[in-house]
Copies of this chain bind each other. A is one copy, B any other.
């Protein structure tokens, strides 16, 4: 049995999307259990619609909900100890649940997760990992926005975290890992990225195959299973790809509705278009995974529907089932056993910490 704690008040639609999502997961994963946090008046009526949830879930009332536009510090001040978001995270800390899923605001969820769960030993900063659809399947990309800037040691940490996630989620033995870099020779890349490359090559870890530098267009090609970068470039890459996909969908839609011939063509090719839409369906890869904390926390898109939220829960479920945290700990221990004295931090990284 795998127990997942749910912040039922997060996201743009709250319980009206989240509770139906739980019902979907309950049908597909028979051994799942839920610990649900939220306001009774909002959650109860939804819960009553899905009898399948009654025997496998437990509901806890919370007065406070974190708003989507709360600043992290504000959310922490007002919602700590008592909000549905905090309670859901705390259930992971106390061991009542094995993973937490929320569609609430990313900054608040990260701030509370860090405060409550703390980073793992040997990890200085957490990362947010995304599952990125590629021509060859799916890749893990991190950090997509937890922190700005990362020094070489943090990039190595992210590589270990990302590789462990790829092993848990994709069932791979030894995923390939690449460091995101720019392709102009000689000015090639930040010093941190070069140093991280050297560290990874020297370490020759059994948990991953380090493949060197990759560029932005390698992400969609699926050149490597795990793409590692710092949070500023990673967030911009992710959002740029989402923007480009939406832009092309828009072109396609308008092209297919402009002429009668195109409309007829669309009717014939509808099956193909449906398959294409499914391929491009972001809901399927929904969920930013917080890595590097003493617990599994998955952030679902705030605007997602029930299918999207269900995908985020199933991602959390799979990672628990495949013992993500144990893998990360083992890999970190192995790396640090071989590299007892890490190089001192550079001034640049300290500064990036603000």
Contact = CB atoms under 8 A, between A and B. Distances in A.
Interface in A217-240: 217-221, 229, 231-233, 235-240
A242 B265 contact: no
Contacts of A147: 187
Contacts of A212: none
Interface stretch (A1-9, A23-31, A243-251): A243-251
B256 A269 contact: yes
A203 B172 CA distance: 54
Query: How many copies of this chain are found per oligomer?
Result: 2
Interface residues of A, dominant DSSP: helix
A135 interface: yes
A348 B350 CA distance: 10
Which of A145, A241, A271 has the most C-beta atoms of chain B within 10 angstroms of its own C-beta? A241
Interface stretch (A12-20, A82-90, A275-283, A308-316): A275-283
A240 to B, nearest CB: 4
Contact of A252 (B110, B148, B241, B276): B276
A261 interface: yes
A265 B272 contact: yes
Contact of A271 (B250, B262, B354): B262
Given A186-B72, A245-B244, A271-B262, A237 B235 contact: no
Interface stretch (A36-44, A152-160, A176-184): A176-184
Contacts of A266: 265, 269
A245 B135 CA distance: 11
Contacts of A106: 184
Given A145-B183, A220-B247, 18 more contacts: A107-B187, A110-B184, A180-B236, A182-B235, A215-B235, A216-B237, A216-B239, A220-B246, A240-B240, A241-B241, A248-B280, A252-B252, A255-B275, A255-B276, A256-B269, A261-B268, A261-B271, A265-B267
Interface of A: 71-73, 105-107, 110, 134-135, 145, 147-149, 180, 182-187, 189-191, 215-221, 229, 231-233, 235-248, 250-252, 255-256, 258-259, 261-262, 264-273, 275-276, 279-280, 347-348, 351-352, 354
